[in-house]
Amino acid sequence: MHELAYLQDLVVILGFAVIIVIVFHKLKLPPIAGFILSGILVGPQGLGLINDVHQVELLAEIGVALLLFGIGVELALKKLQRLWRLALVGGLLQVGLTTAVVYVIARMTDLPSSSALLIGLVVALSSTAIVLRELQQRGEVDAPHGRLILGILVFQDFSVVPIMLIIPLLIGADLNTGAFFVTLAKSVGIVVAVLLLAMLVVPRILSFVARTRQRQLFILSVFLICLGTAWLVTKSGASLAVGAFLAGLVVSGSEYRHQALADMISFREVFASLFFVSIGMLLSPLMIIDNLVPIAAILAAILFGKSLIVFVAASVLRMPIRACLFAAIALSQIGEFSFILLFSIQGTGLIEKSLENSIIAAAILSMFLTPFAMSYSPQLAAGLGKFTRFKNLLKVDSAEDAPDTICKMRDHVIVSGYGFAGRELAQVLDEYDIPYVIVDLNIENVRKASEETGKAVFGDVTSEGVLNRLGIENARELVLLINDPSAAERAVRVARELVPRLFITVRTFYLLDIEPLLAAGADEVIPAEREAAVQVAIQLLKRHQVNNQQIAKRALVIRDHSEDENS
């Protein structure tokens, strides 16, 4: 009967989750918020349909382990190598400043040092699961703000290892220097060991197993590596979730990581959904009403405080101001690792129960609000062109103070973005004496463009004021070469409203971006995904000695197919 009751709880949870997430999908609301709302409704603090939360928490622990294992697999070591500066500098600033600020505030309220430090570490962490999923769904992982956010999240996830090992010291209030450095050395040793396994051992094991062509054996091997690495890490004092994340990094070093992720993705999605439902079960609507003022104060402090600190950290990295704002909004919440830290100290009295409940409530609400905030971040960032007074600090010319030679241009091309495509286009325009101006929000790109062309300004191309200063009324064409689909779409809308006759060309990465951009008013959208398919086919046909006329026809067919696929 106990087993049947357990099954009944699962049916209730999944049934509510499916219904609510379908409704959220129809309303174009984030699904993760739907899972959290499901937990609030079915939990003992809501409708009371599920009373044994402990059973759900056990499944949720497996779920968060699989979720973080999948995140570790997706964060391939080669990708991390490209993010090392953003992760090290941005992450260290964000985690360090957040912990320090919260510690000082907590000490001012007469909390003990150990409690203040733990609360600071809890607040410093953000939700990799929520933020990464939102970035993937929006196609913004490779955008400037996407790389910045991912880099800081990677640092946060790695920092959980030493944090978990420090917790026993906090509980015992034994913060002597020797014990601290022993713990730090232990945590560094674990991370180094995991990285060595990822680079040297596991790829060879999975390669050997893959050659057997036994899919069941491959799946078993992946789960063995996941659980085995997680178990070994837990023996050092870290949690199962931390071990699973590090296990994912171990598998990410293999060329078979995509197959590993595909084989376990269904398990991950089901159990991860249970994790978010279990988080919602912790929230009591009545408790929020009874403690509305302290919870609202904590929530506001978390959201605005973390946003400000992330913005400062991103500014130090000289990231575009738009990317700074996007990152500040995306990382303002408290994450899943924070709950693991809070659960690990339950019953120790390290944090007073009423304060702990208020922090948990504020944390859940911050997670619930994040997907909504991220969906509205493009609108919030729309007025960033007003902040071009930063030019004195950044030592670049802003569009607001663009020289008359730029403002009075006629029949010119406005090029937004000075990456590889922007540099190549500038060389072509120079070669054929076509007037142009470069505008970018990346400080380093503006400096480089200024040195190489002398026609670059710092500005947000989505701003009406910036476009007016660049002489858009007299321009012949606007070319958008930015890696942010939402920003590109907004820039198209603004430019089309200002100058209906303007020809607008947009470079994007994916076919799915074509329709929204054309609907916004773009004349031509060039998806890199389509052109990559064309080039792959052309090169293959050339190697097979197909004549040039047939190759040209095939290229047209591929381009036509991409248009049909998108329609």
Provide the token pair at 202. Answer: 């596991």
CA dist 89 and 292 (Å) reads: 37
Domains by residue range for the chain, with CATH:
2-379 (1.20.1530.20), 385-522 (3.40.50.720)
Cα torsion 219, 225, 228, 233: sign: negative
Asked whether the beta carbons of 146 and 74 are under 8 A apart, the reply is: no
Query: Helix axis angle, 202-210 relative to 240-252, nearest 10°?
Result: 70
Other CB atoms within a 10 A radius of the CB of residue 518 amount to 15
Residue type, 380: L
CA dist 563 and 524 (Å) reads: 12
Query: Helix axis angle, 528-543 relative to 548-566, nearest 10°?
Result: 150
Relative to beta strand 524-527, strand 503-508 is: parallel
Residues linked to residue 436 through DSSP beta bridges, in sequence order: 413
Could you give the count of Cα atoms lying within 13 Å of 405 in the half-sphere of its Cβ?
Answer: 7
3-state secondary structure of 417: coil
Query: Helix axis angle, 240-252 relative to 53-74, nearest 10°?
Result: 30
- In the numeric block, the tokens 């220097």 are attached to 177
Q: pLDDT by residue for the chain (567 residues), tens digit each?
A: 455 666 777 788 888 888 988 888 787 777 777 888 888 888 777 777 776 666 666 666 666 777 777 777 766 666 666 777 788 888 899 999 999 999 999 999 888 888 899 999 999 999 887 887 777 766 677 677 788 888 898 888 778 777 877 777 777 645 556 666 776 676 677 767 766 776 677 777 777 877 777 777 877 887 777 777 777 777 666 667 677 777 777 777 666 666 666 666 666 667 677 777 877 887 778 888 888 888 999 999 999 999 999 999 988 887 777 778 888 998 998 987 888 788 777 777 788 888 888 888 898 889 888 878 887 776 666 555 455 454 444 454 555 555 666 667 888 999 998 888 888 888 888 888 889 999 887 767 787 888 888 888 877 788 787 888 888 888 999 999 887 777 788 889 999 999 999 999 998 877 777 888 888 889 988 887 777 777 787 788 888 787 888 878 877 777 666 555 555
Asked whether the beta carbons of 276 and 333 are under 8 A apart, the reply is: no
